[in-house]
Amino acid sequence: MVDVVIAFVLDFILGDPAFLLHPVRLIGRLINVVEGVLYPVKLPKRLTGLVLLAVTAFTAWIIPYSILKVLSPYRLLYHIVDILMIFFCLSLRDLGNEAMRVYHSLMDNDVVMARKNLSMIVGRDTDCLNENEIIRAAVETVAENIVDGFISPLFYIILFGAPAGLAFKAVSTLDSMVGYKNERYMDFGWASARTDDLLNFLPARLSLFLIPTAALFIGMDFNKSLSVGMRDRLKNPSPNSGHGEACFAGAMGIKLGGLNYYNGVPSKKPIIGGKRQELEREDIRNAVHLAYATGFVTMIIFCGVRYLYAGAWW
């Protein structure tokens, strides 16, 4: 567990490094190559999509597993590589940094730059969003991504080690690249999207405890976070995304959801949360603070439970 703690601290200090050999970027390249080979094959698209999922996830697991296996006699080198692998799986600080870029643009009264920065972290159309909609989108993406960007990978790392965390990141990357309900990916991306839902199922439900606990520690509303989380968690069309959003909305006393556009197509999501509909710029900062607090609480609880179960920090 010392490796996990060190990797967490590195992520919080450094954020996600932007360089070409980042494992998640390599996974993205692998997906592009395998998709290019499999998509033209004259077989049912769900079958070839399942093969894409299997090849990508297995590769993302077997390579780091084999590396750690080879390094196991060399304890110092083993732990250095293990820490780096875990570090690459976590994206808590990067999530906060991206949202704060939107915040700082708004504080500079530069709505155009705020839209541009927002477009880097959301899938919805941003070109015509007003300030309230920009703030809502930023808060929603922080609330949603605290689960699949941090809680879920840490959950699988604690249970099965760094290779499992990288395999999870492979599935998450697959979902972001091929898990769309459009003509090309409706069937081809089906296995990836459903597997991502499955892997996030339990971590999302653990967030119903983790986020309110974090809210309590930073002076936000624990009771509302828990009650709104339980009440509104299934209003989102996604089986998992609504859990984080509902807990954040309750903790912050705000309403989330509403009309979004994706490639010009309207998509109206149910309203979740508390009383306040008009959002403020500081809500982005507050959401980031809650995300960071959730990260710390999750790390402490997960490592503590693992220690009680395994009885060792190494």
Q: How many domains does the chain have?
A: 1
Phi, psi of 54 (to 5 degrees): -65, -45
Tens-digit pLDDT string for the chain (314 aa): 799 999 999 999 998 877 667 899 999 999 999 999 999 999 999 999 999 999 999 999 999 999 999 999 999 999 999 999 999 999 999 999 999 999 999 999 999 999 999 999 998 999 999 999 999 999 999 999 999 999 999 999 999 999 999 999 999 999 999 998 888 999 999 999 999 999 999 999 999 999 999 999 999 999 999 999 999 999 988 899 999 999 999 999 999 999 998 888 898 889 998 777 789 999 999 999 999 999 999 999 999 998 888 765 55
Count helices and strands (H / E) in the chain: 14, 2
Q: Are strands 265-273 and 255-262 parallel, antiparallel or unpaired?
A: antiparallel
Task: Give CA separation, 65 vs 14, 51, 69, 70, 167, in Å.
Answer: 25, 21, 6, 9, 10
**E strand or H helix at 262:** strand 255-262
pLDDT, position 264: 86
pTM of the model: 0.94
Q: How far apart are the first and last CA of the chain?
A: 6
Q: Please, are residues 30 and 59 in contact by the beta-carbon 8 Å criterion?
A: yes
Domain that holds residue 229: 2-310
State residue 116's pLDDT score. 97
H-run or E-run covering 268? strand 265-273
